[in-house]
Amino acid sequence: MSGHKQVQIRYQDKCNALLDAMPSYVRSYIRAIHNRTSPRTNFEYAFDIKMFLNYIAERNSLDEVSLSDLEKLPKETFEDYLEYLEHYESPHGDVTNSRRSLSRKLSALKSFFNYLFTNEMISTYEVGKIPQPKCPKKPIIKMDKDETASFLSAVHGRRAMTQKEREYYEIQSVRDLAIMYLFLSSGIRASECSELDVDDIDLERSCIYITRKGGNESVVYFSDEASPYLVDYLDWRNNLEGLDEKEKALFISSQKKRLSVRSIERLVKKYADTSLPGKGITPHKLRATFATLLYEQTGDIYLVAETLGHNDVSTTKNHYANLSDKRKEENRNKVTYG
């Protein structure tokens, strides 16, 4: 079973566990959308709906929240809920949601209530009257040439370490170098990196086979600069003692299991904190670094969109609009008449 499939099954199981304790109309909604959304999206929508139902149920159980209860909810209830979500206390501590998170949670509720309204389970759609929170565009945080060199220097172990740090680094350095060079030469996501299996890499073609967020399979190429590190890692992995033959994951943890997304994020953070403190480098920032350089070198926004796995090129344009402005400025004298 592929790494992507394992992740999908895990999210499906988590979603089913949530739905077991929720009213039947929620289960009907998730069934209605599951063929056009990923298991992860289904889980996130189910989680957001459960949070809202808990909010309006107060001390009652979720099963006691009827469709007639939902139908009676005024617009103000949804507005109060969004205000509550901005900052609230949970059993795990204080929770703060950004405007982007609030917008996503509101979209989940709108989709859910629109389903109920369209299927005549309720006669009102008050939540649809609430505008989406305005989300300011995030600036592209990426590394420049010198910062990338500093980051990779840390990955190569060219920094002061304690004896214990050095010993651990020597064990994992082959893997870490392969991961970081793959990120910086392909622009893949952390989730896509985690889901890679050994059979998904083709050294002869210098490419990997991945499944994108929407479920589409894609071929992504990596550079000649990254190839030696991937070759070294595969050789290291093939000779690793105690590795279960059934473990198909390409990148594995010290426990000889698939490296999780969270572990990959911590890995990037570890090297970034020592080389670029305060920069906030994440796997997504490595992806942005690659995409920026690819666009600067080629000027082909469609190539960048396809390489990143964006279904709509406008998504890429929105992210890299400032780069388009830069290219326009650089080429302002290209057309002359004198």
Contacts of 8 (CB under 8 A, 6+ apart): 38, 39, 40
CA distances from 25 to 82, 124, 225, 226, 317 (A): 22, 16, 53, 50, 39
Secondary structure (3-state) at 124: coil
Segments of the chain scoring below 50 in pLDDT = none
For domain 145-329, the CATH class is mainly alpha
Pairing of strands 207-211, 217-221: antiparallel
pLDDT at 336: 58
Q: What kind and span of H or E run contains 219?
A: strand 217-221
pLDDT at 139: 72
Share of the chain above pLDDT 90, in %: 58
pLDDT at 328: 65
3-state SS of 49-99?
HHHHHHHHHCCCCHHHCCHHHHHCCCHHHHHHHHHHHHEEEECCEEEECCH
What is the third-level CATH fold of 3-129?
A: DNA polymerase; domain 1 (1.10.150)
* Closest alpha carbon to 108 in 19, 33, 54, 35: 33
Residue-wise pLDDT for 240-287, tens only, equals: 888 888 899 999 998 999 999 999 999 999 999 999 998 999 999 999
Query: Domain coordinates of the chain in residue numbers?
Result: 3-129, 145-329
pLDDT at 324: 58
pLDDT at 59: 66
